[in-house]
Amino acid sequence: MIPLYKGRHFITLEEWTKEEIDKLLEVSKTLKFQFKNNIPTPYLTNKTAFLMFFEQSTRTRNSMESGLAQLGGHATFLDTSMMQISHGESAKDTAIILSSYGHGIACRNCFWGTGNKYLRELAAWSTVPIMNLQDDLFHPMQGLADLMTIQEVKPTTKNLKVSIIWAYATSHKKPISVPLTQILLFPRYGMDVTLAYPEGYELPDWAIEKAKKNAKENGGSFRITHDMKEAFKGADVVIPKNWGSWVTNQSSAVIDDLLEKNKLWKCTEAMMALAKPDVSYMHALPADRGNEVEDSVID
């Protein structure tokens, strides 16, 4: 049976089969090669996508805009503070109108408890595909890019030891969507995933159970530790990145006692020395330099 791609919403990779994800990766690798070699890829000529951002963005906004241009289409950036959304217009009305103007709607809404729900409401009323540019629970494009990178730099994902490690940061209270997406996706590719964090920075129980299920069904493994050194030991890939304590504390305060108690959770050269000699360091960026990671490591 041929997978159906046309018209599909892209809100979480959990709603896409491995066969479908593999096809996304195959096409992505081809487009990357064509871009690097200046081969035209006019697949979206005269097509328009609206990019709605409830928060700041550097990489996601510009990669989407340049990607649409590479494919011959047009991206319209929409700062939602400048839209009628700021006056209370519903997701329903926004979706109906924008989908009548163009061919796709992409949205970033990371507000805890509302982001994913907002995208789901857009999807319920849009006549064109809704693409998730990050919400409070999922970041599928980041997860796909991470998986593609791992496949490019490692010979196999089977039993690859990947550690997703909480790190100290003070820049802002970050969403949980990047680590949550990673723990759900990586075990589906047979990786041995370790999730490490200080107590108080738990991810949702349903996500942990699903990560274990994905690992069991695909020959990988999933474990949790509250020992940072244990997570670095023998790792093939380390992803030390901050996320907020949203599951246990819904306050939007950036700095609190729990955060300050865990200032030593930092990616240093000493920590990296515990991993495999050919370990790969990864970060979705922006990194909180000096807090999450030493300059000498990330550089």
Structural domains in the chain, CATH included, are: 13-135 (3.40.50.1370), 141-298 (3.40.50.1370)
Dihedral sign computed on CA atoms, order 117, 120, 124, 127: positive
Model confidence at 1: pLDDT above 60: no
**DSSP letter string, 160-213:** -EEEEE-----S----SHHHHHHHHHGGGGT-EEEEE--TT-PPPHHHHHHHHH
pLDDT greater than 70 at residue 2: no
Class of residue 119 by CB neighbours under 10 A (exposed 0-12, middle 13-18, buried 19+): buried
Mean pLDDT, all residues of the chain: 97
Averaged pLDDT for residues 202-230:
98
Positions of E strands within the chain:
48-53, 74-79, 104-109, 130-135, 161-165, 192-196, 221-225, 237-240, 280-281
pLDDT level of residue 4 (50, 70, 90 thresholds): confident
* Owner of token pair 């496949």: 151
Q: What is the dihedral of CA 210, 215, 221, 224, to 10 degrees?
A: -10
Helices 115-125, 91-101: inter-axial angle, 10-degree rounding: 50
Residue 186: name the closest of 122, 112, 234, 238 by CA. 238
Is residue 16 pLDDT above 80, yes or no? yes
Residues 24-74 have pLDDT tens digits of 999 999 999 999 999 999 999 999 999 999 999 999 999 999 999 999 999
pLDDT digits (tens, 9 = 90+) for 178-190: 999 999 999 999 9
For residues 83-96, average pLDDT = 98
Q: What is the DSSP letter of 54?
A: S
In what side-by-side order are the strands of the sheet with 48-53?
74-79, 48-53, 104-109, 130-135
Q: Quick one: pLDDT band at residue 141, thresholds 50, 70, 90?
A: very high
Q: What is the pLDDT of residue 249?
A: 97
pTM, 2 dp: 0.96
Q: What percent of the chain has pLDDT over 70?
A: 99
Q: What percent of the chain has pLDDT over 90?
A: 98
3-class secondary-structure state, position 250 = coil
